[in-house]
Structure 1
Amino acid sequence: MHRFTCIFILFSPLVLCCLALSQPPSEPETHPKVMLLHSYHESNPWDISVEEGIRDALADEYYIPDKNITLKSFYMDTKRRTSREWKEDAGKMAREAIDRLQPAVVIALDDNCQEYVVRPMGKAGWAFVFAGVNRDPEEYGIISNRENPGGNITGALERERFPESLAFLKRLVPEVKRLALISDASPTGAPVVQRIKALAPAHGVEVIASLETDDFTAWKAFVTRVQNRADALAVVVYHTLRDDSGAHVPAEEVLAWTTAHSRLPDMGFWPWAVSQGLLCSDAISGYDQGYYVGTITSYILGGQSPGDFPVAAPRTGQPCINKARADELGLTVPAHLTKTARLFPAMTARATFSSPPN
């Protein structure tokens, strides 16, 4: 049960009048409304990059927030608060927010939105455009045909660039043959792990060990165990781990511990993972995901049906290297890669951690 504290303050008629005069003017009814429904939280780097792409796409189609469009955000915060009870409560609050706003389009970001909002509301007539979906959308029952969705739902799939990221890693460490694979146990991580395992043999590597866990102690034991067995470590997502007391462990702390205690070259699949300390990635672009669905949203606002647009998976990659991690591992970054890749110079602070194993 959630407890809310209400504070009542008595105002004089004069104060009430002043407050009323200070309120912003009501939004013109002619402005279309769009809700940005986030599975995660406001400071999450993925959400920030996707929203930037959405806003730029809308602006390029002459939809300017607060001028001729109303854009509202709702954050379900399911990456830091991971219990089923919280997700159900957050989904209920999101559905109620949609009912209150009455938006022309709901842009629903990432998998938990699909499970707890789009699935139960999909047949109610709302126009939904999803992005950042790692599972197959058919599993949620929100579409049945990707090429011709029909109806009121379409969107963009988020697909990790494993073959491209592996090829990029091999440009830094050509001898990689044995891969260890680790992820948290979130809805984001599970399908990525499955796809990597299926693709690895065709790309010349063997997944010699893998782990999906929300237990930070188990995570640390796995990283330690594979040091002498693997040639490289693939880190998927690391945002839902908890310590032995059940407290959420910040993602930056998980990755800082991992890179401080591992001598394996490591790769991720998003730019923020490299910025936080992993060696490299040919990364998924959250901005491109956002720009794609923002463009579709503008067409829907112009009168087209969501079902007219096929479900797509934007494939533009963003090569990234963490130069500090390369230096730490004793790797030389070829000069031509420094000209084409995005370089991150810093590592996550490690003041609380011991030195990596020898």
Structure 2
Amino acid sequence: MITRRLCVIACCFFVVIPSVMAESNPFRVLHVMSYHKTWKWNIEQFQGFKDGIGDIEVEYQIIELDTKRDSSQKSIQEKVAQTHQVIETWKPNLLYINDDNAQKYVSHALVNSDLPVVFSGVNRDPSEYDFLGSSNVTGVLEHEHFVPTVNLVQSLSPNISKIAVIVDSDPTWKGVMTRMRANSKHLRNIEVTEWILVKTFDEYKQVIERLQTQVDSIALLGIFNLKNQNGKDVPYEEVLKWTVKNSQLPDFSFWESRVNSGTLAAVAVSGYDQGYIAGQMAKKILVENIKPSEIDIRPSYKGVPMISLPRAKALGLNPNVQVLLNNTIKRSYTWGQ
């Protein structure tokens, strides 16, 4: 009898131990970013994701498509091939993928596959990537704070009535412009008079110089895919540095990196919040076994109002104490003075 009981106990141990061992293995998460991992926007999203996923054990691999510094098709396709190779050999449990270019080149091809996909930082309508109704994709949309940003600029420069919007050739801006057009009806006594596509840095300079006498403010959206005379992408810091030194129009955008480099103001989308919500989604998929299709795609809502004080002074604007107390103030440019 004792021998039989020992056998039963031993069998129970052999059943339980493999299950415990399986749970102790780290989850494998492949993180594919549209840009580069040293850029603050990506750092914030990734940190938010890790905090959102919590204290479960995770092993990460990172692939940078780096499309803001090098938008050539050759470079992008090489990294896309690398991504698919890692998926094939490493077999991640989940793909965390951020911003629009990575959706276009990577996750779109994985719709309805067996690999769960969680995205963040997506500006375009998710239907354009076939995400809506898919079995394996969910994530966080990046909806800019257009009206609050314009209101912030108006608090600095009350006489604004005409705005021009500048974009480059990146497809990201299609969704942004669609939402801006829809929300422009909520602006107070302001009209968006021009939507301008620029492809080269020289063209950008000509447009900025022309607008000095035609509008009161400029929305700087697309400033990454501007080519120099050799066909190479001009770093956005160089574009903004030139703008600071050559434009006397109050300008705005929707991201902290722009204000750091000289754009006057933004109610910035929180990269950390984008990543944190995505991390919570990933945890539900990995730990709670909830299907991605059961987790709603949604935007984040947190906005951070910020002003470049040196840019305000260069434009002859003097923010009052209330404005200074209620907004994040940037006191220098990332590229110096």
What is the TM-score with the length of structure 1 in the denominator? 0.83
Counterparts of 1:48 and 1:152, CA distance in 2: 25
Deviation at 1:50, TM superposition (A): 0.8
- Tell me if 1:117 matches 2:106: yes
The structure 2 residue matched to 1:36, chosen from 21, 31, 37, is 31
Letter in structure 2 aligned against 1:239? F
Deviation at 1:116, TM superposition (A): 1.5
Counterparts of 2:222 and 2:273, CA distance in 1: 20
* Aligned residues of 1:118 and 1:142 also touching (Cα < 8 A): no
Deviation at 1:89, TM superposition (A): 3.1
Structure 2 equivalent of residue 52 of structure 1: 47
Structure 2 equivalent of residue 17 of structure 1: none
The structure 2 residue matched to 1:227, chosen from 208, 212, 215, is 212
Runs of 4+ in 1 over 6 A off after TM superposition: none
- Tell me if 1:177 matches 2:161: yes
The structure 2 residue matched to 1:200, chosen from 178, 184, 189, is 184
- Tell me if 1:135 matches 2:104: no
Counterparts of 1:136 and 1:124, CA distance in 2: 20
* Aligned residues of 1:161 and 1:269 also touching (Cα < 8 A): yes
The structure 1 residue matched to 2:71, chosen from 82, 87, 90, is 82
Structure 1 equivalent of residue 55 of structure 2: 62
Structure 2 equivalent of residue 168 of structure 1: 152
Counterparts of 2:81 and 2:112, CA distance in 1: 16
Query: 1:81-120 CA deviation, whole Å, 9 max, x = no partner?
Result: 2133433332222121122221111111111211111111
Deviation at 1:124, TM superposition (A): 2.1
Structure 1 equivalent of residue 13 of structure 2: none
- Tell me if 1:154 matches 2:138: yes
**Aligned with 1:135: secondary structure?**
coil
Structure 2 equivalent of residue 21 of structure 1: none
Normalized per residue, which structure has more helix?
2
Letter in structure 1 aligned against 2:112? K
- Tell me if 1:253 matches 2:253: no
Counterparts of 2:102 and 2:334, CA distance in 1: 30
Letter in structure 2 aligned against 1:132? G
- Tell me if 1:105 matches 2:94: yes
Query: 1:311-339 CA deviation, whole Å, 9 max, x = no partner?
Result: 01001100001111111111111212222
Greater alpha carbon shift after TM alignment, 205-214 vs 177-186: 205-214
Counterparts of 1:180 and 1:259, CA distance in 2: 17
* Aligned residues of 2:237 and 2:335 also touching (Cα < 8 A): no
* Aligned residues of 2:167 and 2:223 also touching (Cα < 8 A): yes
What is the TM-score with the length of structure 2 in the denominator? 0.88
**Aligned with 2:106: secondary structure?**
helix
Letter in structure 2 aligned against 1:334? N
* Aligned residues of 1:234 and 1:266 also touching (Cα < 8 A): yes
* Aligned residues of 1:256 and 1:350 also touching (Cα < 8 A): no
Instruction: Give the greater-gyration-radius structure (CA).
Output: 2
**Aligned with 2:180: secondary structure?**
helix
Counterparts of 2:271 and 2:222, CA distance in 1: 15
**Aligned with 2:60: secondary structure?**
strand
Deviation at 1:199, TM superposition (A): 2.8
Structure 2 equivalent of residue 20 of structure 1: none
The structure 2 residue matched to 1:262, chosen from 223, 235, 247, is 247
Structure 2 equivalent of residue 355 of structure 1: none
Deviation at 1:215, TM superposition (A): 0.7
Counterparts of 1:197 and 1:259, CA distance in 2: 27
Counterparts of 2:319 and 2:129, CA distance in 1: 43
The structure 2 residue matched to 1:313, chosen from 299, 303, 307, is 299
**Aligned with 2:298: secondary structure?**
coil
Provide the identity percentage. 31
Letter in structure 1 aligned against 2:174? A
CA RMSD of aligned residues (A): 1.9
Structure 1 pair 332/310, CA: closer, same or farther in 2 (3 Å)? same
Query: 1:250-286 CA deviation, whole Å, 9 max, x = no partner?
Result: 1100111112110001111001111110111111111
